Structure 1
Amino acid sequence: MHIEKNICDNIMGTIMNVKGKTKDTIKTWLDLQEMNIRPELHPIQKGEKIEVPTACYTLSPEDKHKLCLFLKNLKVPDGFSSNISQCVNLKDHRIFELKSHDCHVLLQHLLPLALPGMLSKEVCEPLIESSLIFCILGSKELRIDNLKHIEAQIPITLCKLEKIFPPSFFDVMVHLPIHLATEAKIAGPIHYRWMYPVERWLYFLKSFIDNRACPEGCIAEGYIANECMTLCSRYLHRIDTKFNQPERNYDGGLKQSNGGLSLLCQPGKTLGAKTPFELEADELEQAHIYILKNCDEFLPYLEYGELFHNFSLLAQHEEMVQEDPSLSSIEIVEICCGPQTRSHVFGFGGGVKPKDLKGGSSSKAELLSALRSTRDDNKFLNEENKSLNAENKSLNDHLSTLEDEMKEIMKMKELFAAQQSHVPPTISPVSTE
């Protein structure tokens, strides 16, 4: 791990030309001139000033900005690495305060993605080979044939680097990887021997130190107290302890469906304040089609949708609901009418920000436009409700008319029966309801 950090610091400091960390200095140029090698890097005396041509391994200001922007906007899975974006200064084009694990991730995974296109092929090739060598050495499973290939490849890669970088680049740490393959064949995978678990444990012990005058006593007392609390917490089942507390990224669990759509019961935990954002027309259509195809309530109707293309699926479901509203619930009717184009987005873990998804802040005109579009989207539902209310009213009037006619028919029937039997008619009471 320390070898990776030193090599990564040498590479980043040299290609970024960081003052105090670069190996490409005035002393290096004079050494090259004295050894009569690399004439393209010899300093040129112009009066009282000394000029040096730009080396092939040095990034231009535009490429430095691209590299810093790449690391600044980087989003990685939780637990993959620390937030490297906090170590990037876009204004000064600096990358600072990288820890050992940050250099481990940067050297093995990020540099092979960022450097191609910024540096020439002759410079990128040995750097990418170095990254692949460390990736294989740091894997959980090692194969003897791979280790033999790496053992023969490391000297070749170092020779390629010596043709590019100045002699001051090659300190003791840069030459140590030549022994790592042999060490891995003898001792096994490196993750059983590196210092990351030890450093995490030392960091845990340092958290017990309250009195810096007596660090050993603080660590001893804190460790005993932690053991006692661990023992007691095993008997406290109704209290949140480190054995039953939720995980750091606990999303709240699966929601119970209260008659709504099953697709909307997926777990999720939001972070930060909500920010309005609007989807484009094609994005909105893709999201709508995804909901229709992945919602359990629509499974009986998908056989009809397979006869048509995706672009006609929305109109088809809408026509089905309009022809027979009893086929679906209110939620299905709302989905067939189409989602609103404007919604609110919350922040999520892993460094994702709402503005990363769509634009920046919204102006007043955009908000007013969004309100109008939302009103237009709900216009269909309002018209449907009005038509249903009108139909219900006309149906109630028709039923009351039929009841009155039936009452008149019953009275006429009783009068006719009384005349035939010469019995005084008995008129049934008429309800006034």
Structure 2
Amino acid sequence: METLMTTLGVVVLIFLVLGLGAWVFAGLVMVSVLSLFWLGDFSFHRIGVTLTRILFRAGNSWELSAIPLFIFMGELIFRSDISERLFKGLEPFARRIPGGILHTNIFGCTLFAAVSGSSSATTATVGKITTRELQQRGYDRKLSIGSLAGAGSLGLLIPPSIVMIVYGVQAEVSISKLFMAGVLPGLLIAALYSAYLFAQAVMHPQKAPRQTTEESSVTLWQSIKLLSPVLALIFVVIGSIYSGLATPSEAAAVGLGASLLMLAAERQLSWDLFSGALRSAILSSVMVCSILVCAALLATAVGYLHIPQDLAAVISAMDLSPAQLLMILALFYIVLGLFLDGISITVMSLPITLPLVLQAGIDPIWFGVFLVIMVELGQITPPVGFNLFVLQGLTGEKLGKVALAAMPFFILMCCAALLITLFPGIVLWLPELGSG
């Protein structure tokens, strides 16, 4: 009961502080300090020393370096005609489906997820490209924002994925097998999202107006040529990882270098484009990274309050079946996702939850994908859903409206988690095929 009250106290503090209109990063710091002071009986001196150390350590995280590099790459693509070609290249595939170019959010995020290990970077890059076009063409604003919030989270599931690397190191399982295991579930979630947009367009045609022939004059062969720059970047980034030449974080630098070379070869790289992309990337990166760093402060506060450990201990004492255990763990991770980032959730909970999973006979590769999906759910749930904040900055909409738009896609992702539980072969088929 004490653990539940402490957890509830932290959640109430987060909603209260952010609800008062505080900047997100400042709100996270305030919640961290107040939680340790009121719920943990820490002195302000001890709080200052602890949080200063964590702030420095989180800000110097090597994994964090991938985010500004991928965002910079996205800004370069956005400001060149490559972004327009991405949109036009996806359009012939999307226009034949009810829902039209709303599907470009799904297709675009799925493609960019293959060059980015970051959900926030995927959301920011594709959102920069599609939100304006969809609004100008009269597509439903709620569906546009919601589909982008949901599809942006695929940056964590479709390889390369930083969260998968963290899990693989902690669980001592093959990271390459984890990457293979994430492909089909990622495509499954993308298919569910597109199916939802399909159904919405059929039931409510006004939400996705049909395009005219003039607006959709690109042929399928031309679309492949238009998509070739992005496909080449996917090949370079993923190829550098699977060839062993670069880690996922280093692959971000490889992708950025390839983008610069590509733009220079096409004579599109100018000082105005470079400096404008750099300025915008700095602003976006500061927004995203400041939230991530301050989330590490909150993760530390929650750790000192023993919330993850105590909740996991309560679960262990229940003597559950594998199905019951997964149901409880799903709820457990959804609660943690309300106020922690994915890496913090993984690092803090796995030492306790993984032994429970292994004891229940659950495959650790399968559980890694299940955990990433749970982490993705946290990306689109308030009050600390990073994709929601990115979209709030891109669209200017209120956080509550963005969260409400993302809710159907939250439910669809829960359905995907249920499907991989009922049919674990969706996750394990590719890793087993690779082993064979």
Shorter-chain TM-score range:
under 0.3
Radius of gyration: which is bigger?
1
Higher helix share: 2
Higher strand share: 1
The two structures have a TM-score, normalised by structure 1, of 0.26
The two structures have a TM-score, normalised by structure 2, of 0.26
Structure of greater relative contact order (alpha carbons < 8 Å, 6+ residues apart): 2
